[in-house]
Amino acid sequence: MERITVVKIGGNVIDSPEATARFVEAFAALEGPKMLIHGGGKLATRLAAQLGIESRMVDGRRITDRETLDVVTMVYAGLINKRLVAALSAAGCRAIGLSGADGDAVTSVRRAAGAVDYGYVGDIAEGGVNVELLRTLLDAGLTPVFSAITCDGRGTLLNTNADSVASAVAVAASRIAPTQLVFCFEKAGVLRDVEDERSVIAEITPDTYAALRAEGAISAGMLPKIDGALRAVASGVESVVIKQAEALLDAGGTTIRG
């Protein structure tokens, strides 16, 4: 199979109808087999508030009780996923929406309660992405579109970090064909100076990353994203690119390689 592109979009695209429409056009125009993973944006928080359910976040992660699980399942796997799939289809991209439960696509393990009980939150199991399902769908010319709702394989849905789903899907895809993972980001890439969009670091490797960290050239908030990207690369993904959604079809951004 040709090179596969796996793209992840987050709230900054999802929360804006105009940004979503621009992204859909660009993603539909991407050549070759491809997959999309989307985050949730602010819609789940808004719906929870309308229903009188308090949204509690710890370190940027949503505490997911039973009611909140229902809300994120409705919003992520229902509304956002189906709107995206419908828009992609209209743009000529034969998309098929998946939660982790569909075709046992992504199996996760409920996170044990420690200092914080995150509730119905899952981390992707070792070998949790169903490579054969991805191969079947890609071979049929379909474009899988994943929400970050996964399943423990025993009937329980689990809220999962969308960046982690994207990385795991890209690692699985790399067993089918060389795979590039693209994280769409609010900024033009990883910046040396967060105030200066022109200070994009073009390439990061494990060696240069150590040097950049020693210099303090990378903001603390970016470190988990780059750590994740380097793990994906170490696990078989050809390269990870961090760039703006608007620049999906252009060169540029930060490329992370092994």
Which listed range, 28-36, 135-143, 181-189, 249-257, lies at the site for a copy of itself (CB under 8 A)?
A: 135-143
Q: Taking the CA atoms of the chain, what radius of gyration do you get in angstroms?
A: 18
For residue 257, CA distances in Å to 6, 40, 205, 242, 252 come to: 15, 28, 5, 12, 14
List, in sequence order, every residue forming a beta bridge with 62; answer none if it has no partner. 57
User: Is 50 a residue that touches a copy of itself (CB under 8 A)?
Assistant: yes
Task: Tell me the per-residue interface mask from 82 to 101 with a copy of itself, x by CB under 8 A, - otherwise.
Answer: xx-xxx-xxx--xxxxxx-x
Which listed range, 55-63, 71-79, 203-211, 223-231, lies at the site for a copy of itself (CB under 8 A)?
A: 71-79
Q: Which of 140, 214, 220, 251 binds a copy of itself (CB under 8 A)?
A: 140
Residue 38 — φ and ψ, nearest 5°?
-120, 145
* Mode of pairing for the β-strands spanning 157-159 and 149-151: antiparallel
Provide the sign of the torsion angle of the four alpha carbons 234, 236, 240, 245, taken in this order: negative
User: Is 155 a residue that touches a copy of itself (CB under 8 A)?
Assistant: yes
User: Is 46 a residue that touches a copy of itself (CB under 8 A)?
Assistant: no
User: Is 247 a residue that touches a copy of itself (CB under 8 A)?
Assistant: no
Rounded CA gap, 230 and 224, in Å? 10
Least distance in angstroms from the C-beta of 131 to a copy of itself: 13
List, in sequence order, every residue forming a beta bridge with 225; answer none if it has no partner. none
Q: How far is CA 128 from the centre of its chain?
A: 15
Closest by CA to 243, choosing from 184, 162, 170, 196, is: 184
Q: Which is nearer to a copy of itself, 70 or 123 (CB)?
A: 70
Rounded CA gap, 43 and 118, in Å? 20
Which listed range, 136-144, 181-189, 211-219, 231-239, lies at the site for a copy of itself (CB under 8 A)?
A: 136-144
User: Is 103 a residue that touches a copy of itself (CB under 8 A)?
Assistant: yes
Q: Which is nearer to a copy of itself, 94 or 213 (CB)?
A: 94
Least distance in angstroms from the C-beta of 5 to a copy of itself: 19
User: Is 81 a residue that touches a copy of itself (CB under 8 A)?
Assistant: yes
Residues engaged in binding a copy of itself (CB under 8 A): 47, 50-51, 70, 73-79, 81-83, 85-87, 89-91, 94-99, 101-104, 133, 136, 140, 142, 149, 151, 153-157
